[in-house]
Chain A
Amino acid sequence: MTINKDVNGKALTISLEGRLDTTTAPGLEEEINGSLENIEELTFDFAKLEYISSAGLRVLLSAQKKMNKQGKMVVKNVSEEVSEIFEVTGFSDILTIE
């Protein structure tokens, strides 16, 4: 998986390409943890995300909890397959999906 970060003032966009799974989730978590200082708007762009497993969902949940304290978090360009995973797990109610 490749992780692309784009910071614009207090807004951070993280674009993911590939698979967010048990193998790649720890790397993303590390990236997020090191990037959230002073960030008030976190956007995930999932246009090129092919796959997400529960390990990836855990990272999203942890990011959501952090952003609840310091601003907001949005997930955009979610594919049909990934969207179904969000539905099944109730994550579609937790996340702000645009």
Chain B
Amino acid sequence: MKKLEIEADVNQLNDVMAFIEETLDEAGAAPKTAMQVNLAVEEIFVNIAHYAYAPGKGNAAILVDVDKEAGELSVQFRDTGVPYNPLEKEDPDLTIPVAERQIGGLGIFMTKKVMDDVIYEHKDGQNILTLKKKL
């Protein structure tokens, strides 16, 4: 288990991605899996950076764990911002013609599609979102 505690700010995204890349390298993840995890991590971190503490500031903790036996990577995000369950957000309507389409909720939708499991809980004043992906 490794942990990164970082300011929930979009400017920290590169550090977050470097932390995740390191984990994926160590776990020997395939390029496709690595890209999917990158995508999900970016979407979730950027969501937290934009909404959890707005208009103020705060921290997010990212905990990663590789279960070698189960061949599964888990990435957990914790923040103490506004309680928010992104899984309740409605999926975007992909059938609407392009000219009328608004892109909202696309990030979390993509995250759900590329991860095997996305779990949300609110506990002890924390938003806890866990992503799981088979390696």
| A and B form one complex | yes
Residues of chain A at the chain B interface (Cβ within 8 Å): 21-23, 50-51, 53-55, 57-58, 61, 64-65, 68, 80-81, 84-85, 88-90, 93-94
CB contact under 8 A between A89 and B101, given known A81-B31, A84-B32: no
Check A68–B106 contact: CB distance below 8 A.
Answer: no
Check B46–A55 contact: CB distance below 8 A.
Answer: yes
DSSP majority for the B interface?
helix
Question: Which single residue of chain A is at the shortest CB-CB distance from B14?
Answer: A23
Judge if B61 is at the interface, Cβ distance under 8 Å.
no
Check B38–A51 contact: CB distance below 8 A.
Answer: yes
Nearest 5 A-B pairs (CB), nearest first?
A: A90-B94, A54-B107, A88-B113, A54-B106, A81-B35
Check A85–B98 contact: CB distance below 8 A.
Answer: no
Check B39–A85 contact: CB distance below 8 A.
Answer: yes
CA distance in complex: A58, B92 (Å): 13
Closest chain-B Cβ to A5's Cβ sits at a distance in Å of: 24
Closest chain-A Cβ to B114's Cβ sits at a distance in Å of: 7
- Can you sample 30 A-B contacts with CB below 8 Å? A21-B42, A22-B10, A22-B42, A22-B46, A23-B10, A23-B14, A51-B35, A53-B39, A53-B42, A54-B43, A54-B110, A55-B46, A57-B103, A57-B106, A58-B106, A61-B98, A61-B101, A68-B98, A68-B99, A81-B31, A81-B32, A81-B35, A84-B32, A85-B110, A89-B106, A89-B109, A89-B113, A90-B94, A93-B94, A94-B98
